[in-house]
Structure formats: structure tokens, C-alpha cells
Amino acid sequence: MADLSTIIHNIKLKNPVLTASGTFGYGVEFDDFFDINLLGGFIVKGTTIHPRQGNAYPRMAETSSGMLNAVGLQNAGAQYFATEIYPKLTKYETNVLVNVSGSTIEEYVACAEIINDLDRISGIELNISCPNVKEGGMAFGTSCPSAAAVVSAVRKVYKKTMVVKLSPNVTDIAEIAKAAEGAGADSLSLINTILGMAINAETRKPVLSTITGGLSGPAVKPIALRMVWQVSQAVKIPIIGLGGIMNATDAIEFFLAGASAIQVGTANFIDPLATVKIINGIDNYLNRHKISAISDLIGCLHL
């Protein structure tokens, strides 16, 4: 067994496999399938200070090797999370991170403050990249000053590990990455979904109620991999890579591109056991290549 442990700022992960926010519920939904303590950690759904109903149905469209979603951060609010859901998550021994979102900087800060009080939460993932909300969300992640503003405001109130999740819907992701690093991010995760659209040719209507939605799945992997590579050349803080990871080979590619850990998103829908298979697959790969630790792979692309 190779050494799969990796470090994201103050969080020591026993293995580099996390799950992506919005694709793993609150973890409990997977209890029937496998012991989720096997994971390096998991990231719960996008949480906002106020409860959100999310967008109207239909919220999903299947695309070639991918899917569009327009969930729109449906959640019961940070307070509900803290009092009703958090207690159920304390049974897990692995790392739990909360994905934090908002429409204004004040909302981000208020939400992060509530999460800051929850002992067993290892860190937050600041979502400045949600393409499915009318206000805030992605807007923060598409310009350097606004990204820096929200990151530094949250930095003041949040004491533990703060991962900032970047939007791929930008001209130069390395610039935004540097702005987030400069404003106090401890780590960066990328990519969130890419803004896309689906049309039903028969009904001549958009498939999604919101017209556009966020693209995820293997279709986006080449773009995600490129962005992780670009960001890894631009910043010093650890990167968490995601976007279209379906199997261990995909995960290895992200490590080589510079990711210190990875997240599995859409793959959970297709195979709820994808994450455990990926953990085993990474171990097999390392053994087969006689690499003793995952850290020897991170950023080690041969050019």
C-alpha cells in the first residue's frame, strides 16, 4: 500500500479523494452504499445564509459525456445546517468541508461565521463560481477585484482552512487564482461547472428552466485539466482539482497537472462507488509504477 496521504493547508487527508459539493448530498445518502470514512473527506452542498428554494424544474439536461444542472443552491440555510444537519455529520471520522455561497459579500461572511463555530468542520470551500444563481455566485469569481474582495472579507471571520472554488468561465483563470491567493485563500479548488445550454429541438424550448446551466462530467475534463495546470504554474498554495473525473486514471492526470487532491462530482451519480474505486485505483497505479507516495506524483508532469 502506497502512501496516499496529502495535505491541504491545515487539513491532513488520509487520501486525496474528496467529493464535490452538490454531488454528494450531506454524505449520509451514501451510507447504504459504502463507509464514507474511507474518503479523504467530503464537501457538503452549497450553503447560504438564507434558505433557498433553488430554481424551477427542469433542472437537468443530459449532454454528450456530461450534464447540465440548474439547481441554484437549493438549501435550508446555514442556521438549519448548523442545528439540524451538522449533528448528524459528527459521526463521520473523515474531513467534512462546507461549501459556502452568497449573493453579497455580507451573506458570504455571515454564512462563514456560522460555519466557523462548528468544531468538526475542517474547512470551508468558498464558492465564488456558481453559474446557477441570478445574483452573486459566479459574478464574484469572474473578476480579480471582486474575487479578492469576497475572499478577504471571509478571511477576516473564518479561522480554519479556506479553500476558494474558482469559476472556469473566465478569460484567464491564473489571474483570478493569484487574486484569491493574494486575498488569503489557503487553497484553490477548480473547476466549478462551465456555463452551457441545451435546447429541445422538438419542443423548440430550452431544456432548463433557467435557459443556461452548469456543465460537468467527462466532457469538461480537458478544460479542467488545462486550468489546473495553468493555476499550478501561477500560485504556491495547494490546488484541489476536479472536473470530469470518472476513474483513477483521470485522477492521476490531475495530480500530474499539479493538484494535491481531487474531487469526484458527477461520477457519483453514475456510480455511487466511484470514489472508493478511484482510491483503490490510485493505490494500484502507484504500486505498479513503484511510486511510494502520492506526493511524488503531484505536479510531476514530464515536459
Ligand X SMILES: Cc1cc2nc3c(=O)[nH]c(=O)nc-3n(C[C@H](O)[C@H](O)[C@H](O)COP(=O)(O)O)c2cc1C
List the catalytic residues: 130
β-bridge pairing 239-241 and 187-190: parallel
Closest separation between CB of residue 81 and its own copies, Å? 31
- 267-279 in b/e burial notation, b at 16+ Cβ within 10 A? bbeeeeebbbbbb
Beta strands in 48-118 (DSSP E): 60-63, 66-69, 95-100
Query: Which residues fall within 8 angstroms of residue 288, CB to CB, at 6 or more apart?
Result: none
| Cell numbers linked to 127 | 464558492
Binding residues for its own copies restricted to 273-302, rule: CB under 8 A: 285, 300-302
Q: Which string of DSSP letters, residue by residue, matches 133-170?
A: -SSSGGGGGGSHHHHHHHHHHHHHH--SEEEEEPPS-S
- Which lies closer to its own copies via its Cβ, residue 73 or residue 198? 198
Chain centroid to CA 62: 20
Q: Which does 44 bind (CB under 5 to 8 A by kind): ligand X, another protein, its own copies, none?
A: none
Binds another protein (CB under 8 A): choice among 2, 47, 59, 127: 59
Q: Which does 74 bind (CB under 5 to 8 A by kind): another protein, its own copies, ligand X, none?
A: another protein
Q: Which does 242 bind (CB under 5 to 8 A by kind): ligand X, another protein, its own copies, none?
A: ligand X
Residue 205, interface with its own copies (CB under 8 A)?
Answer: yes
| Separation of alpha carbons 42 and 59, rounded Å | 23
Contact 268, 29 (CB under 8 A): no
Q: Which does 232 bind (CB under 5 to 8 A by kind): its own copies, ligand X, another protein, none?
A: none
Residue 206, interface with its own copies (CB under 8 A)?
Answer: yes
Where does this chain touch its own copies (CB under 8 A) — which range of 6-14, 93-101, 158-166, 191-199?
191-199
State the binding string over 214-253 for its own copies (x if CB under 8 A, else -).
Answer: -x-xxxxxxx-xx--x--------------x----x--xx
Q: Which secondary-structure segment (H or E) carries 234?
A: helix 221-234
Residues that bind ligand X (CB under 6 A): 20-23, 45-46, 69, 71, 73, 99, 127, 130, 165, 192-193, 216-217, 220, 242-245, 264-267
Residue 185, interface with its own copies (CB under 8 A)?
Answer: no
- Which lies closer to ligand X via its Cβ, residue 2 or residue 69? 69
Please report where in the chains the cell 468541508 appears, as a residue. 97
| Separation of alpha carbons 155 and 183, rounded Å | 8
- Which lies closer to ligand X via its Cβ, residue 36 or residue 267? 267
| Separation of alpha carbons 254 and 240, rounded Å | 9
* C-alpha closest to that of 196 among 217, 173, 227, 171: 217
| Separation of alpha carbons 76 and 107, rounded Å | 14
- Which lies closer to its own copies via its Cβ, residue 167 or residue 263? 167
Residues that bind another protein (CB under 8 A): 22-25, 29-30, 32-33, 45, 53-54, 56-67, 69, 71, 74, 217-218, 246, 266, 268-273
Residues that bind its own copies (CB under 8 A): 61, 63-66, 68, 142-143, 169-172, 194-199, 201, 203-206, 211-212, 215, 217-223, 225-226, 229, 244, 249, 252-253, 256-257, 285, 300-303
